[in-house]
Amino acid sequence: MAGMSTLVERDVLQRVLGTALERGGEFAEVFVEDRSTSSAMLDQRRVEELSSGRDRGAGIRVVLGETTGFAHTADLSEKGLLAAARAAAAVAREGGGGVREIELRDLIEYPSRAETAPGDVAKAQKIELLRHADDVARSEGASISQVQVALGDSTRNFVVANSDGVFAADHQVRTRFNVSCVATGDGGMQTGYRPIAGTRGFEILTSDVVADAARGAARQAITKLDARPAPSGQLPVVLAGGSGGILFHEACGHGLEADAIAKQASVYTGKVGQLVASPLVTLVDDGTVSGEWGYLAVDDEGRPGTRNVLIENGVLTDYMWDYLRAHREGRHSSGNGRRQSYQHLPMVRMTNTYLLEGDSDADEIVAQTPRGVYVAQLGGGQVNTATGDFVFGMTAAFLIENGKITAPLRDCNLIGNGPDVLQRVDAVANDFSMMPGTCGKDGQSVPVGCGQATMRLSGITIGGTAA
């Protein structure tokens, strides 16, 4: 694969940017990407998928006032890039004309953090790892009736240059491994799932780590065979470390993205400096957490990844910003401009979003909860950023009775409101952990990390099935 700085030569990028602005645009950007992917899947002990692919191209945007022109091309020749630049600049046809010369700064280039590039690992070795996970999962008991194991990796080189002189490149390697199990018993079928993921190379997939994930997925499915209907109504809920991060990502993270604020489509609009959460809540978005799924050295607009404190001790301190919205407000980007690929415009997106840990003991939090629900794993959910209302599935939950975790519960829902939930955090432990996820927004998906320590919500509505 071509080196990052040689995807497109510096002088070509300067000429393309100049052409993009020659009809009067205010800002222009070229984003060039070269991505390689591979995947493998073992389903019921059969290799169902073994594929690889590569995608190269460039996206060019030109901004004039409130209007953005965007064009993308798979032709990385200078001729192809100039044609895309002229197409994007068509929105500025009323401009004053002339030529604007662009002087790019020295390239800021970040090397790969991977120790073992996935492309250097033989397919046979990958299949062997999938079979190892399958064997471990099935060894947990005869009730395991189905096992599916998947491995995927991506290597993404990109260069971004713009008319402000930004010139940056990154080399991102991500590796992911998933184990899904189905257990069958008298009560029907139940599922279990465990992911392994990191912005690293194949080195994260050691035999022991893969075996732990396989055992965890199988045991989760087997445990749920004895699940009872979940209670309905408002109860205290204890979220296990790492498991509840997705709740805060969805319930308040999206409402703190500057595009939602600019559209006044967020319950947090105009509330900087106000108390919006329990004093136990400090919410951070941090692209610099090395190795986590949402890690980035630079964002897709060439801005360095940063640690942004959004809520501190319950007080809203800031929002997340991409280049355009930050520029309009006379401030700097927070490193949150992200895009799915060169075929997409960047937008404000989270990276690794998490709540800081507290100083309580996780076991003590459970012990001090006479009755409630312990959530070991959350599933998917939906949120309305304008109101903060949300619904989340619980894929692994247990009843808390007399301060002890007891019976597993059938899949059910958490129903609530983001700002209200933030106010209801009344205990935070010191066992912080993170989980990987994929965030969808406006038709684009990007990798993110979510995290928190074990914490208790004083009361939230459970959408159960028990009388």
DSSP letters spanning 385-430 = TTT-EEEEEEEEEEEEETTEEEEEE-SEEEEEEHHHHHHTEEEEBS
| Residue 467 pLDDT > 50 | no
Stretch 27-47: mean pLDDT? 97
Distance CA 304, CA 296 (A): 8
pLDDT for 97:
46
pLDDT for 107:
86
Of 379 and 96, the structure prediction assigns the larger pLDDT to 379
pLDDT for 179:
98
pLDDT tens profile 178-225: 999 999 998 799 999 999 999 999 999 999 999 999 999 999 999 999
Pairing state between β 108-109 and 144-162: unpaired
Confidence label for 464 from pLDDT (cuts 50, 70 and 90): low
Mean pLDDT, the chain, whole residue set? 93
Q: For the chain, how far is it from start to end, CA to CA, in angstroms?
A: 60
**Token representation of residue 258:** 């500057």
pLDDT for 119:
87
H-type helices in 283-441, by residue range? Answer: 323-328, 362-367, 418-423
pLDDT tens profile 286-302: 999 999 999 999 999 99
Tell me the domains of the chain and their CATH numbers.
Answer: 4-226 (3.30.2290.10), 233-463 (no CATH)
Contact 355, 312 (CB under 8 A): no
pLDDT tens profile 243-301: 888 899 988 999 999 999 999 999 999 999 999 999 999 999 999 999 999 999 999 99
